[in-house]
Structure 1
């Protein structure tokens, strides 16, 4: 059992964990206030690469959560960290939203969404602006043997009406067409959790990751060697524990139950 009162850094998945669609879960504001009251820090850690951090700040503000860029770590942040020093001068085909391309460009990378000669790398993110042209371009590039990196392996992104295909599903389509799989950067890889602890100076014992997906959120925490809290308010169900053979430290119904356990 996790002693939540001893935790200082709370790594929080967002969609399905603290809200769903545009609906904030009951208990979220209480939980966030409690963390701050106790001198801890919460960090929103998301695999969603379709939005910029500023868009997340605005979205949370609309739900009553005041935040700054310092409260977020996205899979695009981790992707930029991974690309730095490897592809600084390369022309990168960015398969994703306009915002995804802008974030890479603002970090100093040369990016395009047009098929050109001399492209050594295809990067793929969650694309809510998906077109068949992008799929065709990606297949051509992968057939040429370019490097292939993707932000996250999530199969679906939860919404208020169900789910939509996420980056992992699109990458699976590309694999079926080309036989090529990407190197994934975001959860379940441990880098996002490790970067969070390094950036803010917390130990593994002081850190817990809270999320609604066994195969990404909980796996990230397990791979990073930290405690994990699996919430049943989003995509995940209890049967996923046996299905994926990944065991969280604790299972909770929702964020309100976690808040109540912090008393």
Structure 2
């Protein structure tokens, strides 16, 4: 493989796997990264328990990894808060894994009845109710920094789509009239935190993804190089019609390994 990068940020669905099937070349690609001592992280916009889920799924598919190679938008959001607001009090709209992350980074979790905090952090919360909505809205209106893990309105499940993190974010935004900072792709913060975590620079980093409007746009916003694979969401027709131009285009990770770029 001829790509000249030391650091790889890798989307999962459509790049490494599709459903419960590995994309051709995925296992060889990860083995190459390990053998050549490349820095890499799998990135996910998921807002809860994502690292554990990713590790388990990759293991089922034959790729062994650990938490040092996975960064979810929830983890990145808490890291971002800890960097910017050390010791801050955070009003958390989210589930226990997100609360545990906040505690693990020496941040304080606001009392739900306090209605004041330094930061309001919003992830997926399947116990979201009027009390949490009120607390979050009042804290933002009182001056708290409003941070959303992602704006995905729906969450795919085995039984069909259900409301996602973005639905809760939209409700708080409507009540507070404040637009949130968003950590997940296509915003650049997830990639920026990934580069920082790996002690790399954007110049030596490439974002590998399958979606122009999410992965490639995020890479461009963060200042990394970009590599699109056509094994997931983006078709040749969509690529040809788009104003978003990746630095590299390959059919899949197998052609990345063979260094045979896709020809439009």
Report which stretch shifted further, 197-206 or 100-109: 197-206
What's the TM-score, normalizing by structure 1? 0.78
Q: Secondary structure at the match of 1:180?
A: coil
* CA distance, structure 1, for counterparts of residue 231 and residue 109 of structure 2: 37
Cα deviation, residue 128, structure 1: 5.8
Q: Is the 8 A contact 1:5 1:262 kept in 2?
A: no
Structure-2 change in CA distance of 1:194 and 1:179 (3 Å): closer
- Whether 1:64 aligns to 2:62 is yes
Match of 1:251 in 2: 249
Unaligned runs of 5+ in 2: none
Q: Any gaps of 5 or more consecutive residues in structure 1?
A: none
1:239 paired residue number:
238
Alignment deviations for residues 76-108 of structure 1 (CA, whole Å, 9 cap, x no partner):
333233222654444321112221111111222
CA distance in 2, matches of 1:42, 1:223: 19
Taking the TM superposition and a 5 Å limit, the aligned residue runs for 1:194-233 are: 194-233=192-231
SS in 1 for 2:219: helix
Query: Residue 70 and residue 166 in structure 1: after superposition, are their counterparts in 2 closer, same or farther (change >3 A)?
Result: same
Q: Which structure 2 residues correspond to residues 67-86 of structure 1 after superposition, within 5 A?
A: 67-84=65-82, 86=84
CA distance in 1, matches of 2:164, 2:232: 15
Cα RMSD over matched residues? Answer: 3.4
What count of residue pairs does the alignment treat as equivalent? 259
Q: Counterpart of 1:239 in 2: which secondary structure?
A: helix
1:68 to 1:182, Cα distance in 2 relative to 1, 3 A: same
Q: Distance in 1 between matches of 2:30 and 2:153?
A: 28
Q: Distance in 2 between matches of 1:30 and 1:163?
A: 33
The SS at the match of 2:40 is strand
Q: 1:25 aligns with which of 23, 26, 34?
A: 23
**Structure 2 length-normalised TM:** 0.78
1:171 corresponds to 2:188:
no
Contact 1:94 1:113 (C-alpha < 8 Å) held by counterparts: no
Q: Does 1:129 align with 2:126?
A: yes
Alpha-carbon distance, 1:241 to partner: 7.9
Q: Which of 233-242 and 85-94 deviates more?
A: 233-242
2:93 counterpart residue number: 95
Distance 1:240 1:105, change over 3 A: farther
In the TM superposition, residue 229 of structure 1 has moved relative to its aligned partner by 1.7
